[in-house]
Amino acid sequence: MLSPSYLLAVIFISIQGSCGQIVKTQSPDYISVSLCISQATYLAWFQQKPQQPPKCLIYQASTWQSGIPDRFSGSISGNEYKLTITGGTEDDEGRYYCLQYDTTPYTQ
């Protein structure tokens, strides 16, 4: 298992209605990133590896995209949205993004 701080290289957030800072929490077993959005909305999390397009991991805040390992999870509590990677591997290295969108269902 890799060090969690190594896994989450960069997060870019461009969110309307953001109400706070991005918070990264980590332990030897997991890493999570959370952010606050002040208005009702949908949120998707993406992973991007070098020389590849972004890949959707989680949509509607907590729904896995087909084929995504369950070590990735998304959650929402009030206005706080969170991405957690539990038991990360070398394959999880990359950039992680979130996308705010207004309609459902999300389609790629």
Instruction: Please give the domain boundaries of the chain with CATH numbers for all domains.
Output: 4-101 (2.60.40.10)
- The CA–CA distances, whole Å, from 80 to 34, 66, 72 equal 7, 24, 17
- What pLDDT is attached to residue 9? 44
Tens of pLDDT along 31-89? Answer: 888 888 877 678 889 999 889 999 999 998 899 999 999 999 999 988 888 999 998 88
Whether 18 has a pLDDT exceeding 80, the answer reads: no
- What pLDDT is attached to residue 88? 84
- What pLDDT is attached to residue 31? 87
